[in-house]
Amino acid sequence: MRNLTEVSLKNKNLVWYFIVVIFFAGIFSYTKLGRMEDPSFTIRQMVVSVAWPGATASQMEEQVTDKIEKKLQDTPGLDYVKSFSRSGEAVIYVNLRDDIDNDKIRSTWLEVRNMVDDIKKDLPEGVYGPYYNDRFDDVYGSIYAITGDGYSYEEMREKAEKIRRILLTVDNVSKVELVGEQPEKIYIEASLDKLSELGISPQDIMQAVQTQQQMAPAGMIETQTDNVYLRLSGQFADVDMLKEMPINAGGKILRLADIAKVERRYVEPAEPKMFYNGKPAIGLAVSMEAGGNILTLGNNLQNTIEEVQKYIPTGLEINQVSNQPQVVKDSIDEFVGSLREAIIIVLAVSFLSLGLRTGMVVAGCIPLVILGVFVAMEALGIDLHKVSLGALIISLGLLVDDAIIAVEMMSVKLEEGLDRFSAACYAYKATAMPMLSGTLITCAGFIPVAFADGLASEFCSALFPVIAIALILSWIVSVMVAPLYGYKIIKVKVKKDEKGNVDPYQSKFYTFFRKILCYCLTHKK
């Protein structure tokens, strides 16, 4: 292998150029890295829920749950199915194996939907659903609650929908969903006895309403430039128009309101509700797009909400329920603080053990390696989170080893009387391959984490690349940058013993260590 230290010292200006480029590129990459508390991973579970008002737990299990479970056994990649049945409700959990590829999960859930839809016709009449929930990968980092005294759910929903459209235009926003909304329906309730007296069947009322809602063609108007087609529409604009709809009862024309109760109310069974400080609320759950910076997203959302609050009607309030950007900021600040403390400890030990000038060389290598890791993380799409920062902390103690070994060997050779160039080149010949072997072996120890199957491996997927990049960069820096630093900074005197012979191992530490080593070798048993 060519002596990289010699190449570095013969091309100092080029190496200095790359040092400056990596320095600024690392700072730029750090500002562009996506930030989140935990790395993204795919949950291999789907929840299928079914409602049957009035049914007992045993009826739900026998007539609904068992049928769906039996069908779900044919799911490809199925691990197990778990269900819970109670009065009027059943919940079924479909879990896939950990070795299923992420690319196949969405298609599997689609197949589950198709299989369950195939047996809908076999379920008892009056069953609501099945309903599916497989979007566990959508993490709603920021949740806002809209409350208003004197406002109905529908009025709050209309305002929330307008705010939702505004939030969708914010940078890094992937999805905004409404939480706690209560859909409304128009219910027509009539007494069967009364209908029998009038000679009207419930089907007659249903047919009349459906016919009134239809749009019928009514001809065409020809113009010089175009043909205009006419359609008649009797669609209802509100509940009052529906109440005035005429019904033919044995030759008599009656209003629908005369024979039935017509009203708008919330659907039954009710959807899950949201409350904020004991008040009914409509929630806005905001999800960040993949690779986004949640801290930037938090600032953008805050500015947008402040603008929206200026124009909302009196009585309506927008309250923040969940502030994940602040949680992530505190978490990242904590890990960055730990990284900072680890760097300080390493530098302190380096200065105390190696001396001021040699310690300065090691101190100059640490930020260069870390900034280089940030550049690689941005190129590979690795975000800044607990796992990636933890990997940096783990590799910190390892990445200074190569620089210390190279610089210490250079110092020893300078103390033996070699010139700076020769001392640096000798350090490469003596230490480069052993350091590279140690680096590669350490990286190899994390390979099982990188290629293992399962949820835990997916969660820790950033561990191997970050550590491997940090250690390989530390080796490159130790053989090309550290000798360049040492060439400029390190100044030592040739050490001689009492007889005048050159011997760099005359310090108190080496003398003490030599006595201990000799004692151990002479007392092996």
pLDDT in tens, 442-474: 888 888 877 776 666 777 788 888 999 999 998
Instruction: Collect all residues with Cβ–Cβ distance below 8 Å to 218 and sequence separation of at least 6.
Output: 230, 231, 232
- Listed by start position, the domains of the chain span 4-32+355-494, 42-136, 185-266
Residue found under tokens 């291999």: 44
Within 13 Å and on the Cβ side, how many CA atoms surround 236?
16
Tell me: pLDDT of 213 over 70: no
Q: What is the pTM (predicted TM-score) of this model? A: 0.66
Q: Which residue has the higher pLDDT, 40 or 377?
A: 377
For range 359-379, the mean pLDDT? 88
Per residue, what are the HEC states of 480-525? HCHHHHHHHHCCCCCCECCCCCECCCCCHHHHHHHHHHHHHHHCCC
User: Which CATH superfamily is 4-32+355-494 part of?
Assistant: Multidrug efflux transporter AcrB transmembrane domain (1.20.1640.10)
For range 396-411, the mean pLDDT? 80
Tokens of 133: 């929930």
Decide if domain 185-266 falls under CATH 3.30.2090.10.
yes
Tokens of 388: 């990636």
Banded pLDDT at 23 (limits 50, 70, 90): very high
For range 48-60, the mean pLDDT? 86
Tell me: pLDDT of 235 over 80: no
Same-fold call for 4-32+355-494 versus 42-136: no
Fold of the 42-136 domain = Alpha-Beta Plaits (3.30.70)
Peptide bond into 280 cis (omega under 30): no
Helix (H, G, I), strand (E, B) or coil at 223: coil
Confidence at residue 375, expressed as pLDDT on a 0 to 100 scale: 92
Confidence at residue 24, expressed as pLDDT on a 0 to 100 scale: 93
pLDDT per residue as tens digits for the range 301-347: 888 888 888 888 888 888 888 777 777 777 777 777 877 887 788 77
Task: Give the CA angle between residues 62, 63, 64 to the nearest 5°.
Answer: 105
Average pLDDT of the residues of the chain? 80
Confidence at residue 28, expressed as pLDDT on a 0 to 100 scale: 92
pLDDT per residue as tens digits for the range 270-301: 677 788 888 888 888 888 777 667 777 788 88
Strand extents, DSSP E, 65-155: 78-86, 89-96, 128-133, 140-148
Range from 89-98, 333-342, 494-503 carrying the lowest mean pLDDT: 494-503
Q: Percent of the chain scored above 90 by pLDDT?
A: 4
